[in-house]
Amino acid sequence: MRSKQEMMDLGMSFARKCEKIRLFTLEGSLTNPNIPKDEFQDYDFSYFVTDMEFFKKSDEWLDYFGKRMMMQKPEAMELFPAELGNWFSYLMIFEDGTKMDLTLIPLDEYKDYFQNSDGLVEVLLDKDNLIQEPVIPSDQMYHIQKPSKQSFDDCCNEFWFTATYVAKGLARKEILFAIDIMNGYFRPNLLTMLRWKVGMDTDFSLSIGKSDKFFKKYVSEATWNTLLSTYEMGSYEKVWEALYTSFELFRETSRHIADTLGYIYPDYDEKVSKYIDGIREKYFFAGE
């Protein structure tokens, strides 16, 4: 892989040479001092240009950045709907393993870009002095936020409500359905509650990264191992175990948060648990 300096120089040299590029920014983890640096980080570059069609009519100009192993152009794909409006992006993995996500943005949309930025932006080149105020990268937008009473109750409600769908899927012997509900609807509430616990322990002063990737740093080994065990779902028995382990972890965490913040832990936990116990007794244990 090429070094960070090589890639930054490459992005800058192209921006300087091309008159149609007026503004050049870096986004993402490379701007965040709280993210450990490693060779797998992407280079998230944005070029603000005066003529979008000049670049979009051919991909040959991208050869400047190296030989590509593979490229994806999300805004040109049919199966996955575009999300960037007038912007156009090139997600490139080069033959040396370096990855660059390069976005073209119409120059006249630069104000919207900065107004809607997540804060992790660094201005590398501004040919026309468009940016008058200093832009200092910050991940504050991603800091864990203290839950309101309503948010806490909503999380509990969704956790226990979706648990019943997992149980029904298991009772019907629809394991893929049960796993899908488990991961897509049920588990996010467990992770939200655990995230709030980390926030409380750290005075809501930090982010634990995309997909909670730094979670392990802020919890006990026992909590970490318990959470990991809930991802073992290769059989009906293991999914049931994962479901019940999630119940215990959620109860412990949410009751602690409720006690600390003065919230009320919902009484429907007991009723829903009994309902799911009945399903398990009838359709799992009885079938052994």
The pLDDT assigned to 283 comes to: 85
Could you give the dihedral angle defined by the CA atoms of residues 163, 165, 167 and 172, in that order, rounded to the nearest 10 degrees?
A: -170
Residues carrying CATH 1.20.120.330, the chain: 143-287
- Alpha-carbon distance of 195 to 168, in angstroms, equals 28
Residues carrying CATH 3.30.460.10, the chain: 4-141
CATH of domain 143-287: 1.20.120.330
pLDDT tens for each residue of the chain, 288 residues long:
899 999 999 999 999 999 999 999 999 999 988 888 888 899 999 999 999 999 999 999 999 999 999 999 999 998 987 777 899 999 999 999 999 999 999 999 999 999 988 899 999 999 999 998 889 888 899 999 999 999 999 999 999 999 999 999 999 999 999 999 999 999 999 999 999 999 999 999 999 999 999 999 999 999 999 999 999 999 999 999 999 999 999 999 999 999 999 999 999 999 999 999 999 999 886 654
Q: What is the pTM of this model?
A: 0.88
Contact assessment for residue 1 and residue 98, using Cβ atoms and an 8 Å cutoff = yes
Residue that is written with structure tokens 């996955």 in the block: 80
> Would you report the helix, strand and coil content of the chain in percent, each value rounded to 5?
55, 15, 30
Query: Which CATH number does the domain 4-141 belong to among 3.30.930.10, 3.90.170.10, 3.40.50.80, 3.30.460.10?
Result: 3.30.460.10
